[in-house]
Structure 1
Amino acid sequence: MDSANNERIVGYFIEEAKEHLETIEKGILDLSSAVNDEESINELFRAAHSIKGGAAMLNFTSIQKTAHRLEDAFKILRDDPLETDQTLESLFLKAYDILQDLLERLQGPFGLSEEEGEQIMEAAEPHFVELQNYIQQLADGEVPKPPQVTSASVRAMSPSLTAIPSDEVVMQVRQILQQMLVIFKQESTPNNRQQLQTMCDKLVNIAPEENGWQNILKCAKQAISNPKHSYRLLAPVIIKEVKLAGDCLEVGKGSEIAPSQGLEQLAYSKLPQILVSVDPNIAAETLAKVFNKEQISKLVNLLQAVH
């Protein structure tokens, strides 16, 4: 197989894997509902299975093994539905983050070396063992219920979250993100963009004293207000950043929250944005769909001038 063709195949794998990752993330964010719906849990299992199969075909061993571990975990939930809890969802999200990290490195300018993949897998192994054991404990009814969290205890643990217990932070952020995901899957209209902005305001009120949290949601609201930004572009950036910021709030690390450069660009850019693959062939197809002939001609001239 020639190099250009191989790069094209890898590009297709990455694009498809991203779609499966989105399916997995949505399912984990609503895991309690997914485990009680046969089609939803099957969809999660198939998404992990598809990433595993594609990675195996291309010899991306670390991605294959990571997807396989997620697939095994989803299989247990599929075959023996059980009552999920916040700990299980957190463990699944960490596993998702590991798989996402591997794919992002693969897509990066330096690719994903076999040695780097092995190192990440070795570091992640204890986590997958913990996930597997916890699922088994839930299935066997051996997991004790967590102690009730009171407002007083949360204040003692996390002075920056005096207004709201951490378990409620997690629940409220997750619920609003789920509502936003539903709208992001719909056709873009002024009305549902307004709904998304209203949801950003609700998120703001969860931690009104946290400046970083406020800044992220201000950027998200501004980005959503720009009708030139497609939902396909907005959704993965906003959902991921708000989720990660919510995780920081949960553990009392609000001071570490800050909007990424990508989110700030979406918020304050005057021009429409598009996602372009690192694969030249896929990038060309994307640009051909977005630009007219005159724009493409100008782009070619600009690229030639750069070189």
Structure 2
Amino acid sequence: MITDPSIREQAYQYFLEEAPALLETVEAEIFSLQQDQELSQRKLTVNNLMRAVHTLKGGAANVGLETIKTIAHSFEDLLKALYSPDLEIDNSLQSLLFDSYECLRLPLTAEFSQTSIDDQGILEQANSVFVLL
């Protein structure tokens, strides 16, 4: 985590500018996952998902946003399973991925609008979704 207050503030502002586009990428890539998608295309989609979530995780960690970092870290770990050619991407899986996205989006949106959320509640919600994946 960045400890110098002026550098942290700059990093925080950059994070707030960058995060909405990364969230859009996550949402779009989840939406683009399809049942009969070729494995090579699926890998590209998962790479894009992983990159966006990883960047959110790192940015959040740098500026001390622990809830976002924790959710992004768990989400990133679960996304690795999507590389498996044996995994069928059906509506149920896609729905769980969108639920995971929502768990990441909520604390980010609260950060953008400078509102508070129940960090423990959102972490519990995320864990209840992640356990199903």
Alignment of 1:72-151 (within 5 A): 72-78=77-83, 80-81=84-85, 82-110=87-115, 112=116, 116-131=118-133
- Asked whether the 8 Å contact 2:78–2:130 carries over to 1, the reply is no
How many residues of Structure 1 are paired with residues of Structure 2 in the alignment? 126
Provide structure 2 residue ranges, at least 5 long, that are not aligned to the other structure. Answer: none
- Separation in 2, partners of 1:35, 1:11: 37
**Which contiguous aligned blocks of 4+ residues in structure 1 show a shift greater than 3 angstroms?**
5-8, 33-36
- Separation in 2, partners of 1:34, 1:7: 43
> TM-score normalised to the size of structure 1?
0.38
By how many angstroms is 1:36 displaced? 4.5
| Residue from 51, 54, 60 that aligns with 1:46 | 51
From the superposition, tell whether residues 71 and 118 of structure 1 become closer, same or farther in structure 2 (CA, over 3 Å): same
Aligned to 1:26: 28
- Asked whether the 8 Å contact 2:26–2:52 carries over to 1, the reply is yes
From the superposition, tell whether residues 63 and 35 of structure 1 become closer, same or farther in structure 2 (CA, over 3 Å): farther
Give the secondary-structure state (helix, strand or coil) at the position aligned to 1:130.
coil
Provide structure 1 residue ranges, at least 5 long, that are not aligned to the other structure. Answer: 132-307
By how many angstroms is 1:130 displaced? 0.9
By how many angstroms is 1:92 displaced? 0.5
Q: Percent identity?
A: 37
Aligned to 2:62: 57
Amino acid at match of 1:9: A
User: Bigger radius of gyration, 1 or 2?
Assistant: 1
- Separation in 2, partners of 1:14, 1:66: 17
CA deviation profile, 1:176-225 (whole Å, cap 9, x unmatched): xxxxxxxxxxxxxxxxxxxxxxxxxxxxxxxxxxxxxxxxxxxxxxxxxx
Of structures 1 and 2, the one scoring higher in RCO (CA 8 A, sep 6+) is 2
Amino acid at match of 1:14: L
By how many angstroms is 1:29 displaced? 0.7
From the superposition, tell whether residues 35 and 97 of structure 1 become closer, same or farther in structure 2 (CA, over 3 Å): farther
Alignment partner of 1:2 is 2:16 = no
- Asked whether the 8 Å contact 2:50–2:76 carries over to 1, the reply is yes
CA deviation profile, 1:88-134 (whole Å, cap 9, x unmatched): 00000011011111101011233x57xx3223102331111012xxx
